[in-house]
Chains A and B, each alone.
Chain A
Amino acid sequence: MYYNNRRLALSIFWVVVGAVLVVLSVTEVLDSSVYAGMGGALMAVGCLQAIRNVKYRKDPEFREKVDIELNDERSKYLRMKSWAWTGYIVVLVQAVGVIVALVLGNETVQLVLAYSVCLILAVYWVVYMILNKKY
């Protein structure tokens, strides 16, 4: 059962956090419209998730569809493969960014990107070692 009480509580939590951000932004306690946008987005996501949660409980057909979508082994494989490709592409783009920043003489950007690449590669190796022991 994917949509449970815990997920419903989390959806309501996002709606409340979003509403608080919007109110604080409108009353100018927070001096940026970014917070209002962020709050609106959180409220929208929370509402959508709450609606899906209720529909999941009441509509058996929808429940079956969601369960199949989440448990289908090909979908899981595609999700995993997509994340792997995303990580690989991000590292490559960052590595190119390091070289571009070096050429442009922007040392701060260069350092941030270089450290970021190192961090991602370090995390990759740690995860690899853990999975290597597990399987």
Chain B
Amino acid sequence: MKNRIEEIRNLRGIRQEELARQLGVSRQTISSLENGRYNPSILLAYRIARYFDMSIEEVFIFEEE
């Protein structure tokens, strides 16, 4: 699943370390999410969207395979 985490994070000037700390995950998790190597659980996706004050659909792009 594609996402806009890196784009939104850069727009807001937030470092990966800071985002990771706020979400209670490791920096590697943020990096893997941004590269599309790891898909988050619904709970983490919700926390990410809430942190950016956006809806899940605005952050994560669902694509039929």
Contact = CB atoms under 8 A, between A and B. Distances in A.
A69 B29 CA distance: 11
B24 A74 contact: no
A72 B40 CA distance: 11
Interface of A: 64, 67-69, 71-75, 77
Interface string B13-54: 000000011001110110010000010110110000000000
A51 B54 CA distance: 43
Contacts of B28: 74
- Contact-size category for B: 10 to 19
Interface of B: 20-21, 24-26, 28-29, 32, 38, 40-41, 43-44
21 contacts: A64-B21, A67-B24, A68-B20, A68-B21, A68-B24, A68-B26, A72-B24, A72-B26, A72-B29, A73-B40, A73-B41, A73-B43, A73-B44, A74-B25, A74-B26, A74-B28, A74-B32, A74-B38, A75-B26, A75-B29, A77-B38
Contacts, number: 28
Contacts of B21: 64, 68
A74 B24 CA distance: 11
A73 B40 CA distance: 8
Most chain B CB within a 10 A radius of its CB, from A67, A69, A72 = A72
A67 B21 CA distance: 11
Contacts of B38: 74, 77
A67 B32 CA distance: 19
Question: What 5 A-B pairs come out closest when comparing CB atoms?
Answer: A74-B29, A72-B26, A72-B25, A74-B38, A73-B41
A67 B24 CA distance: 9
B36 to A, nearest CB: 13
Contacts of B26: 68-69, 72, 74-75
